[in-house]
Structure 1
Amino acid sequence: MRDLYLAIDVGTGGLRSALVDRQGHILAFAHREHEQIVPRFGWSEQRPADWWTGTQETIRAVLAKVDNAANRIAAICTCGQMHGTVLIDDDGRLTRDAAPLWNDKRTAPQVSAFSDRIHQDAYLDISANMPATAWPAFKLRWIAENDPEAMARTTTVLMPKDWINFCLTGQRAQDVTEASLSFLMDWRSRDWSQALCDLADVDRALLPPLRNPSDVLGTLTPQAAQTLGLDPATPVLVGAGDYPMALIGSGVIGSGMGSDVTGTSTIITLMHDAPVIDPAISNVLSAGGDWGAMTLLDAGGDAVRWARRAFHENARSYAEVTADAERAATGSKALFFLPYLSGERLAPSSRAQFFGLTAAHGLPELHRAVLEGVAFSVRQRLDALQGGHGRPDRIVAASGGAKNTLWLRIKASMYGVPYLVPSELECGVVGAAMLMSVANGDNADLPAAAGRMVHFAQEIAPDPEWSEVYDRMMPIYSRLYDSAQGFYKDIEALG
């Protein structure tokens, strides 16, 4: 009985494989780290060959953990880190041993030159995104200028999960979620844009066919099947980028839902039927076909980490710091914290500050103000992300911030939206299993798959009394934010 889904996740820190059952439970999991290469400051690369080695090792590991697993695999689906630009030739050989990753900043000169040369009116309404160092369009431009020999031998550009798919099936393709953040796709047609290729000076012939994540790409090659010990007839899905896949795997399906991934920074995504065209917003196509208007705020868990270090020299645990904050009243006795300890993406010179300190404030208020300050900074961006569609029905929390119940209560009350926490935090793996369940006919569609396979550990509703306090504080926070801008350059000049 083929009742198991084999999910692969090509992460930045390592390769993960998992066996997932029809109810969305992970039965076996294996992880292999791979090296991140930093040839120069701001550069970040990995070897695609290492991803394939890790894939083989982790698949063998999970198959060994479940009885008769190799004969029970219904399908294979991969997600992975986005934007890593892999180049192969006619024979499928890598033309560059290392691929520049999503966090590689070497393309800054290319992005700057593009922005200086071309006004946003020429591309924003096609790409739904502004130029950025992460996008593959600019990585391809850098390679063409700096490694022309490799580019001359290249016939196809793949993303990390597409490279694994090629190793599994021999088929060349990209999916529309990856392409939505490539700066090369027309968001309306969901196909490559000749206009964007021309603007970015990218040869469209290098771009493989675009497929939907749930499409069956092919079956295993005889060599891959023998290497992995699997049936060569096993179907392999096209798959998706890790973040678009994690959206569906956390139950964020359909317009009106939201996602909050709070780690060091905060990524807020609100789902819509179409992109929100705004220079301050990025738009990503989810694995379910909805558009996520997203923004990354540099304020997040780093503010909590800073407070723990600055106030306690890391001698107290995060749980103890949170317990302190729980003793403070809502609004921290009218104490405000602007959480821009490392600047902001759109305003790099921004600084953090406490405002409203009195002799009545102590550590509980300081710690709670930090949590509330991050939430205020998110609320400032929500109206733009909503694109006039109103508040989301619910927001699903993920990453480290999902473990702090007090913070989730603050956010739910701040935004007036219930928060949900998934039971399974490997959301990319669950999302891949959901796609396979639909392709395999075990579920009729993704909403049905979500209802069966996504489980939530808790739901946190807004507190009306807290919401009333935050509604009164928010205009003051916004005025503080605006008035502080005039000081930053002067402060920076002090050295």
Structure 2
Amino acid sequence: MEYVIGVDLGTSAVKVLLVNQQGQVEAECSKEYPLYHDRTGYSEQDPDDWVKKTEAALQELVEQTGIRPATIKGLSFSGQMHGLVLVNEKGQPLRRAILWNDTRTTEECQDIEAAVGLDTFLAITKNRALEGFTLPKLLWVKKHEPDIYQQAHGFLLPKDYVRYQLTGDFAMEYSDAAGTLLLDIANQAWSTEIADKVGVDIQLCPPLVESQACVGTIMPEVSERTGLGPETRVFAGGADNACGAIGAGVLSEGKTMCSAGTSGVVLSYEAAGNLDFGGKVHYFNHAKSDAFYNMGVTLAAGYSLDWFRKTFAEDTSFSELFQKIAEVPVGSRGLLFTPYIVGERTPHADADIRGAFIGADASHMKWDFARAVVEGITFSLNESMNILKNSGKKITSVVSIGGGAKSNEWLQIQADIFNAPIVKLENEQGPGMGAAMIAAVGSDWFASLQDCADAFIKTEKVIEPREEHVSTYETLFAVYQDVYDQTKGLTHALKQFRG
């Protein structure tokens, strides 16, 4: 038997999967690393923590399975998007990585669109300049830490830095490069026009490679630390959402995915790179060659639920939490929640908006609030779904992945709010499986990602919307859509009082 490994570099932990030729996960291991919030709006990690924990997870995976290293034919990556890793000429990080959920760069975003011109910027990058992306972070360092910026020899994104440390290959693949705001999406090349207009040296941008490209093998010293064979081939991999789409089989027109992890994503396949969504949703290169996808983002999806549980129900497991939620009527007895606890992305690109419970009554109990949180997260995701539908997309079913796919109750809530059948996969492993599939195709197990998906991905069940609940949620969703405009001024006024 031969195997491949998918490495998923998340925001809180790295997860590695050992996958056999039938697409079955033989073993998995995860390792957590610290997250630093030194100031409000700041979110950083030490890039070398990623490397150490990835190597530790790989070592544990090899040891616990006892398989011969020579049977592991390939390894590939999925990773959190947008994080800025500035390195010197020796490839060493010059500072902590500034992450995707860092919101310090509002001024830089405004400067970018003013310097380039919004129409030109959208024509090239297909996206608005938002705080989460990489270019604003690069300009922030240039402005606030000029000594560090002057030492920079280049930059990488999180998973590309880990891959560099494992193989010595300094490169970035297109699906992650699309989230830097320096890539010409349709032409798949770095944009000298944007770099020149914002004052960034284009030489800082690394060489570009395809997601399925073999970029090298495991370096001997890494082989010694991990137990992987030095002949193990390494493939470039993809951004977490692109890999999540691969792992969900979103590889052809009409395929749509909902991912409810730390952040939430609604993603739909696009065959062309020249469509115009006016920046309403993100528009990126896929990890499938010469393909694209559009995507709406809820910044705090599972994170909102995790926050609620830790703050108000710390002794309750997620399983118990959803048992209680199932007992609460649809609509949470007239209680609404907006999941803006770290700002919002789609459709409201607002780093300063904050969440709210609306309609709290003396009769409401803790579990009413819990259900309102889950419904609010799903309402937010439905805003992205609506944008896709209004653009002409026909959504006949939605593949659900991430934490939201682990609860039958949440899957039913998704079906009722989206008014679409929800597909639950038999062996859902999210972006890590997508990374493993890239390695499987790179290792010549399959001729294409679609062939691999046909063999690996199996449906466990389909959850149909309940007609009587669809109409209730449609009414509530209309109210939910008013909450942003009604609370925006209030939450912005409160910003000065945040810690």
Name the TM-score, length of structure 2 as normaliser.
Answer: 0.84
Query: 2:7, 2:436 within 8 Å by CA — same for their partners in 1?
Result: no
Query: 1:337, 1:369 within 8 Å by CA — same for their partners in 2?
Result: yes
1:103: which partner in 2?
101
1:384 aligns with 2:387: yes
The residue type paired with residue 84 of structure 2 is T
Give the 3-state SS of the residue equivalent to 1:279 in structure 2: coil
1:5 CA displacement: 0.7
Name the larger-Rg structure: 1
1:63 aligns with 2:62: yes
1:286: which partner in 2?
286
Change (3 A) 1:198 1:371: same
The residue type paired with residue 358 of structure 2 is Q
1:463 aligns with 2:466: yes
1:85 aligns with 2:54: no
Give the 3-state SS of the residue equivalent to 2:359 in structure 1: strand
- Stretches of structure 1 lacking an aligned partner (at least 5 in a row): none
Q: Deviations over 1:375-400 (max 9, x none)?
A: 44443442322463333232122233
2:199: which partner in 1?
201
Query: 1:255, 1:272 within 8 Å by CA — same for their partners in 2?
Result: yes
- Stretches of structure 2 lacking an aligned partner (at least 5 in a row): none
Give the 3-state SS of the residue equivalent to 1:28 in structure 2: strand
Query: 2:209, 2:236 within 8 Å by CA — same for their partners in 1?
Result: yes
Name the TM-score, length of structure 1 as normaliser.
Answer: 0.84
1:474: which partner in 2?
474
Query: 1:391, 1:417 within 8 Å by CA — same for their partners in 2?
Result: no
Q: Deviations over 1:262-290 (max 9, x none)?
A: 24653222222245523332223332254
Change (3 A) 1:159 1:331: closer
Query: 1:338, 1:354 within 8 Å by CA — same for their partners in 2?
Result: no
The residue type paired with residue 293 of structure 2 is G
2:409: which partner in 1?
406
Which moves more between the two structures, 38-47 or 441-450? 38-47
1:148: which partner in 2?
146
1:121 aligns with 2:119: yes
Q: Deviations over 1:382-421 (max 9, x none)?
A: 2322463333232122233223323322322332322122
2:336: which partner in 1?
337
Query: 1:341, 1:352 within 8 Å by CA — same for their partners in 2?
Result: no
The residue type paired with residue 294 of structure 1 is M
Name the CA distance, whole Å, in 1 between partners of 2:262 and 2:151.
Answer: 39
The residue type paired with residue 141 of structure 2 is I
Change (3 A) 1:73 1:119: same
Give the 3-state SS of the residue equivalent to 2:485 in structure 1: helix
1:213 CA displacement: 0.6
1:418: which partner in 2?
421
1:86 CA displacement: 2.0
Name the CA distance, whole Å, in 1 between partners of 2:390 and 2:435.
Answer: 29
2:188: which partner in 1?
190
1:174: which partner in 2?
172
Give the 3-state SS of the residue equivalent to 1:19 in structure 2: strand
Query: 1:124, 1:277 within 8 Å by CA — same for their partners in 2?
Result: no
1:452 aligns with 2:451: no
- The 5 A counterparts of 1:149-298 are 149-263=147-261, 266-274=264-272, 277-289=277-289, 290-297=291-298
Change (3 A) 1:73 1:313: closer
The residue type paired with residue 402 of structure 2 is S
1:130 CA displacement: 0.7
Query: 2:244, 2:434 within 8 Å by CA — same for their partners in 1?
Result: yes
Q: Deviations over 1:17-72 (max 9, x none)?
A: 33211122222222232222344333232222222222322222111122333121
1:83 CA displacement: 1.9
Name the CA distance, whole Å, in 2 between partners of 1:264 and 1:228.
Answer: 28
Query: 2:75, 2:234 within 8 Å by CA — same for their partners in 1?
Result: yes
Query: What is the RMSD computed on CA atoms of the aligned residues?
Result: 3.5
The residue type paired with residue 418 of structure 1 is P
Query: 1:340, 1:350 within 8 Å by CA — same for their partners in 2?
Result: yes
Change (3 A) 1:230 1:40: same
Identity across the alignment (%): 26
1:241 CA displacement: 1.8
Name the CA distance, whole Å, in 1 between partners of 2:41 and 2:486.
Answer: 30
Name the CA distance, whole Å, in 2 between partners of 1:12 and 1:373.
Answer: 23
Q: Deviations over 1:64-96 (max 9, x none)?
A: 122333121111212222222223334x33150
Name the CA distance, whole Å, in 2 between partners of 1:369 and 1:207.
Answer: 44
1:24: which partner in 2?
23
- The 5 A counterparts of 1:479-494 are 481-482=481-482, 485=485, 489=489
Q: Deviations over 1:119-156 (max 9, x none)?
A: 41120121111112222212221222333333333322
1:188 CA displacement: 0.7
Query: 1:394, 1:420 within 8 Å by CA — same for their partners in 2?
Result: yes
Change (3 A) 1:136 1:323: closer
The residue type paired with residue 31 of structure 1 is S
Which moves more between the two structures, 19-28 or 288-297? 288-297
The residue type paired with residue 17 of structure 2 is A
Q: Deviations over 1:417-465 (max 9, x none)?
A: 2212234443222111111111122112112211222234332123344
Query: 1:325, 1:365 within 8 Å by CA — same for their partners in 2?
Result: yes
Name the CA distance, whole Å, in 1 between partners of 2:50 and 2:303.
Answer: 30
The residue type paired with residue 284 of structure 1 is F
Query: 1:340, 1:352 within 8 Å by CA — same for their partners in 2?
Result: no
The residue type paired with residue 213 of structure 2 is D
Q: Report how many aligned residue pairs link the two structures.
A: 486
The residue type paired with residue 288 of structure 1 is K
Name the CA distance, whole Å, in 1 between partners of 2:340 and 2:147.
Answer: 43
Name the CA distance, whole Å, in 2 between partners of 1:461 and 1:394.
Answer: 9
Q: Specify which structure has the bigger relative contact order, considering alpha-carbon pairs within 8 angstroms and separated by 6 or more residues.
A: 2
Change (3 A) 1:410 1:18: closer
The residue type paired with residue 232 of structure 1 is P
Change (3 A) 1:410 1:60: closer
Query: 1:95, 1:151 within 8 Å by CA — same for their partners in 2?
Result: no
